[in-house]
Amino acid sequence: MTKPVNSTYGVSLWRSIRVLWPALKSQVSIRVLNGNRTSFWNDNWLGNGALKDLFSDIYALAHHQQRSIAKMWSPQGWELILRRDLNDWEISRMAEFYKQLDDFTGTQNGDDTLRWQGHSSGKFSVNAAYKMINQPTPQVTNWPWKHIWKTKIPCKVACFSWLLAKEAVLTHENLKKRNWTMCSRCFLCEKEVETVGHLFLHCRITDQLWKIFINLRGIAWTMPRKITEALFSWEAAGAGADDISRWKMVPACIWWAIWKERNSRCFENSSNTMQEIKLNCIKLFLFGVTRSTQRILYLS
């Protein structure tokens, strides 16, 4: 089997096929006969996962980690050679390991075979695999799409809020997931690691923007952990507001103002004072209010 594709280059057809391998592999079981083709540690021949994952501590002690079942099995039982003697607290773990192997009755004549679980015959077919991969997924009922696309804010701000809800905005946290090496630090408070949750919800600079609108309403509001939770919670906190549509604009206005300030400090080495950051946020909010008011007057 080829290695996983990590680079951004290569033939797109084969890259796409290789990406589907984990989904297909999960639907394949192994019927062990002579054991020559099946890896003792690396293959899922027991049906509940590879032994190196189930017993990683025992795997680390094993001397032969790449042997097949045929080389690990003898008429007298399993030939497991360890790098050192077991400690007292490891004996029970080893007993659990051997208990996992109790159902294996020994090797037989014939080659090991793969069985496709996606069909009753056990034979693989492209049609069955396609149906398995393209099964309809249940609709997500708690996704705040109305809080983003039905809110009267500029389109680019709505698109940014959508990416933010998916936690796909390129903060240091997400750049590290793309194998960027960096020393992460929030550009606003310069104290914490820059994550989506910290930058847009819990940073002390961002918190001051939230307090502008919370104090105007005179309510107590606990900051949620995630962006999606914040959108639902903010709407609930605005129940009874004179104009709920304006209340819904607030999170997007805060996040856009924070992102603009963050990028200004990151790429232009330029920073605004706290009062200027607040003013930029309020300007964006008033712009959205003005646009919605003009649209109402036009329709009327």
Digit-coded pLDDT (tens) for 250-270 = 999 999 999 999 999 999 999
Picking from 175, 146, 148, the residue whose alpha carbon sits closest to that of residue 161 is 148
Residue 18 falls inside a structural domain = no
Between these two residues, 98 and 7, which has the higher pLDDT value? Answer: 98
For residue 83, CA distances in Å to 58, 65, 86, 89 come to 10, 11, 9, 16
Q: Is the pLDDT of residue 12 over 80?
A: no
- Both 291 and 183 in one domain: the answer is yes
* Token pair of 202 as six digits: 């819990």
Find residue 78's DSSP bridge partners. 73
Out of 39-48, 234-243, 263-272, the most confident range is 263-272
In eight-state DSSP terms, residue 90 is: G
- Both 162 and 61 in one domain: the answer is no
- Both 199 and 294 in one domain: the answer is yes
- Both 88 and 228 in one domain: the answer is no
Residue 100 falls inside a structural domain = yes
- Both 163 and 226 in one domain: the answer is yes
SS3 65: coil
- Both 72 and 150 in one domain: the answer is no
- Both 164 and 270 in one domain: the answer is yes
- Both 294 and 151 in one domain: the answer is yes
Domain residues for the domain of 71 are 28-116
- The mean pLDDT value for 143-151 works out to 87
Residue 1 falls inside a structural domain = no
- Both 184 and 49 in one domain: the answer is no
End-to-end CA distance of the chain: 66
- The pLDDT score that the predictor gives to residue 136 is 66
Residue 6 falls inside a structural domain = no
Q: Is the pLDDT of residue 294 over 90?
A: no
Amino acid present at 120? S
Out of 38-47, 89-98, 254-263, the most confident range is 254-263
Strands 113-116 and 28-31, sheet pairing:
antiparallel
- Domain count along the chain: 2
Question: What tens digit of pLDDT does each residue of 198-238 get?
Answer: 999 999 999 999 999 999 888 888 889 899 999 999 988 88
SS3 225: coil
Out of 115-119, 171-175, 294-298, the most confident range is 171-175
In eight-state DSSP terms, residue 82 is: B
- Both 265 and 185 in one domain: the answer is yes
- Both 42 and 103 in one domain: the answer is yes
Residue 7 falls inside a structural domain = no
Residue 285 falls inside a structural domain = yes
- Both 86 and 169 in one domain: the answer is no
Q: Is the pLDDT of residue 100 over 50?
A: yes
- Residues 6 or more apart from 73 whose CB is under 8 A from it? 35, 79, 104, 106, 107
- The pLDDT score that the predictor gives to residue 171 is 93
Residue 134 falls inside a structural domain = no
Residue 135 falls inside a structural domain = no
- The pLDDT score that the predictor gives to residue 298 is 39
| Lowest model confidence (mean pLDDT) among 57-71, 127-141, 227-241 | 127-141
- The mean pLDDT value for 21-45 works out to 85
